[in-house]
Amino acid sequence: MKNLTILNTASAMVAHANERHGVIARNIAHADTPGYRTQDLKDFTDSYREMTSSGLRATRDDHAFGAHRGLDLSVQTVLDTPVAPNGNSVSLEHEMIRMAENRHQHELALSVYKTSMSILRTSLGR
């Protein structure tokens, strides 16, 4: 099943959504921390495109980052957000929107994965 692009894409999308959830949760936890700057991951589409075009491939799934080791999950500081007088740039409203977008991405990836598996099972007669 490693050669099924749709399953690899859905799996990478879930990995990205899981990591982004943690970043958003940290932002919310630091909403009142002086000097804390909002952080986020690179957009999944850009990260996945870079991973697939780089030519890097996992040789074994149990290596670092498993099958998604080429996927850029590095945390980046968001620079285009307003900064409060205490130096904090976290907006709870923006984080709520990011969380909803991330939830949608996660649900979409799981739906694609489940549908693909259902099609495979049907084609195998199970």
Neighbour tally for 98: CB within 10 Å:
20
Neighbour tally for 17: CB within 10 Å:
21
Per residue in 7-23, pLDDT (tens digit) is: 888 999 999 999 999 99
Give CA 14 to chain center in angstroms. 6
Task: Please give the average per-residue pLDDT across 37-63, as a whole number.
Answer: 73
| H or E stretch covering 45 | helix 44-53
Residue 65 pLDDT > 80: no
Report the number of distinct structural domains present in the chain: 1
Closest CA to 88 of 43, 29, 45, 46: 29
Residue 54 pLDDT > 80: no
pLDDT above 90 as % of the chain: 59
| H or E stretch covering 112 | helix 92-124
Paired strand residues for 75: 41
Window from 6-10, 38-42, 57-61 with minimum mean pLDDT: 57-61
Q: State whether residue 48 is helix, strand or coil.
A: helix
Q: Which domain holds residue 18?
A: 1-124
Q: Which residue has the higher pLDDT, 24 or 74?
A: 24
DSSP 61: T
Residue 60 pLDDT > 60: no
How confident is the model at residue 68, as a pLDDT? 58
